[in-house]
Amino acid sequence: MADQVHFELVSPERLLFSANVGEVVIPGTEGDFAVLPGHSNLISTVRPGVIHILDNGAQVSDRIFVEGGFAEVNAGGCTVLAERAIKVSEIDRSKAEQALADAREDVQDAKNDTERNAAILAVNIAEARLNALNTSAY
């Protein structure tokens, strides 16, 4: 359909979403970007955040938290290859808060730059996961 874009969200485990939709908002590394029908070709890295799937301005799917990955937009639609993904409604707040506390402790305990960088990445993901719980639909 000319007024829709085909969107697929794929994680290493499975295909999470595949449908024609009106719009997809993706958390790109350089900032959120919306993919609409007729969007120009694009490849972008995806930062930890929430993917919003919309049709006529309304959410058509649960908001989906991704830990990162890649997005490709071409004439055939938009595909996001996510490192890990989960519906925001399935995030356990207490586990997310504990993961953030643990990651912050790991930053303090890091013995070298490699450990510190991995711990900082874990902090960024944990903060984004909690932020997903604290924000509403697009």
What percentage of the chain has pLDDT greater than the value 70? Answer: 97
**85, 66 Cβ separation under 8 angstroms:** yes
What is the domain range of residue 105? 92-134
Q: What are the tens digits of pLDDT across the range 89-117?
A: 999 999 999 999 999 999 999 999 999 99
Query: What pTM was computed for the model?
Result: 0.89
Same domain, yes or no: 96 and 80: no
Q: Is the domain of 78 the same as that of 96?
A: no
What is the reported pLDDT for 1?
52
pLDDT recorded at residue 35: 95
101 shares its domain with 84 = no
Spans of the chain, pLDDT less than 70: 1-2, 137-138
User: What is residue 138's predicted lDDT score, i.e. its pLDDT?
Assistant: 57
Position 22 scores a pLDDT of 92
The rounded Cα 131 to chain-centroid distance in angstroms is 12
* Ramachandran angles phi, psi of 101, nearest 5°: -60, -45
Residues 55 and 82 in one domain: yes
Helix (H, G, I), strand (E, B) or coil at 64: strand
